[in-house]
Chain A
Amino acid sequence: DQQVKQNSPSLSVQEGRISILNCDYTNSMFDYFLWYKKYPAEGPTFLISISSIKDKNEDGRFTVFLNKSAKHLSLHIVPSQPGDSAVYFCAASLIQGAQKLVFGQGTRLTINP
Chain B
Amino acid sequence: DVKVTQSSRYLVKRTGEKVFLECVQDMDHENMFWYRQDPGLGLRLIYFSYDVKMKEKGDIPEGYSVSREKKERFSLILESASTNQTSMYLCASEDPVGRRVQYFGPGTRLLVL
Contacts and interface: CB of A to CB of B under 8 A. Distances in A.
A111 to B, nearest CB: 21
Interface of B: 4, 9, 31, 33, 35, 40-45, 48, 56, 58, 90, 92, 94, 96, 99-107
B25 to A, nearest CB: 12
B90 A103 contact: no
B58 A89 contact: no
Contacts of B103: 46
Q: Is the interface of A mostly helix, strand, loop or mixed?
A: loop
Contact of B104 (A9, A32, A43): A43
Interface stretch (A14-22, A65-73, A94-102): A94-102
A77 interface: no
Contacts of B94: 99
A105 B106 contact: no
Contacts of B4: 43
Q: How would you classify the secondary structure of chain B's contact residues: helix, strand, loop or mixed?
A: strand
Interface of A: 4, 6, 9, 32, 34, 36, 41-46, 49, 89, 91, 93, 95, 98-101, 103-106
B56 to A, nearest CB: 8
A49 B94 CA distance: 15
A101 B42 contact: no
A43 B96 contact: no
A50 B33 CA distance: 22
A6 B39 CA distance: 13
A105 B110 CA distance: 20
A43 B107 contact: yes
